[in-house]
Amino acid sequence: MERQMETSAAERELYTKQGFIPGRPLLTPQEAAHYLAECERTCTEPLRETARRQAPNRVKPYLLYPWAADLVRHPRILDAVEAVIGPDIMVFHTTTWWKEPRTTNFVPWHQDGTYFGLEPYEHVTAWVALTPSTPERGCVQVIPGSHTIGQRPHFDQQDPAAMLSRGQTFAEPLDESAAVDLVLQPGDVSLHHTMLLHRSGPNQSDGRRIGIGISYIPAHVRHIGETRLSATLVRGTDRYGHFEPEPAPAADADAAALAAHEEAVGRFWKASEAIPAMALIH
């Protein structure tokens, strides 16, 4: 126990200083292979047609599929998250980041919190690699220490290859020479702060690059917009009730799961689209 507490303190200090924790092998090779197979089985094809940049079943998949509900509750991932945000943990959002081989899709420089409307700034993203995530495959790049600059202006980018919901892009000059590649192997998990500047490039390899970005928040964090959003308690206690609770799916995309997913994602898009671009939102 003492050893674990020392490790948690060291991770928290690293996270506080640089705004991220590099990849740690939190899933076994067998677990990573299982989640990849399930992700490809359920998320290769869109659940339904949409004009949005992300297929519906690649957004909040933990409300649709038991494998994803298990993943966001994985104890070793939650241990790592608890080390930086405490024991009362909720899943606020999740996105499957999927780049096919030899595609131009990219994620522009941005801060995750730009359109989330959460306060205080204690949201952390656990990025779970299900395939190798390397510079050739368009791995995540971060600017160490940039989480300390506060919320900065962004603009909505129209480029259809930009994978974010509105193409949200950092609007100020940026020294990209300071960027660090987060190179991950299947089963590795990195953490990054909601205000940390990060991006990812195109996949220039012959293999898919698939990862799951899980947005975790401590239970005391709230959404400041008019729309009441939903979230899932995955560890500890929710003593605040800031979010509507979300049900876990009993089976792949059954009627109850589809209804819960549509309701939750609809609330999320409504809230995020109400926040103007190029604004300091807090």
- pLDDT tens digits for the chain (282 residues)? 454 545 688 888 999 999 999 999 999 999 999 999 999 999 998 776 655 557 789 999 999 999 999 999 999 999 999 999 999 999 999 999 999 999 888 778 888 888 788 999 999 999 999 999 999 999 999 999 999 988 888 767 776 666 565 657 766 888 889 999 999 999 999 999 999 999 989 899 999 999 999 999 999 999 998 899 999 999 999 999 999 999 999 999 999 999 999 999 999 988 877 765 433 333
Whole-angstrom CA distances from 211 to 86, 125, 278 are 24, 12, 28
Residue 5: the pLDDT is 41
Burial level of 145, CB count in 10 A (0-12/13-18/19+)? middle
Give residue 279's pLDDT: 37
Instruction: Give the per-residue pLDDT at 282.
Output: 30
Surface-to-core class of residue 155, CB atoms within 10 Å of its CB (0-12 exposed, 13-18 middle, 19+ buried): middle
Count up the domains in the chain and report the number. Answer: 1
Give the per-residue pLDDT at 110.
86
Does 153 fall in a domain?
yes
Q: What does the pLDDT read at residue 269?
A: 85
User: Is 282 a domain residue?
Assistant: no
Residue 191 domain-assigned? yes
Residue 280 lies in a domain: no
In-domain check, residue 281: no
Total residue count of the chain as it appears in this document:
282
Q: Is residue 63 assigned to a domain?
A: yes
pTM assigned to the model: 0.90
Lookup result for tokens 């339904």:
48
What's the domain range around 24?
A: 2-273
The CATH number of the domain holding residue 21 is 2.60.120.620
Q: Would you say residue 278 lies in a domain?
A: no
Q: Whose CA is closest to 107, among 142, 77, 132?
A: 142
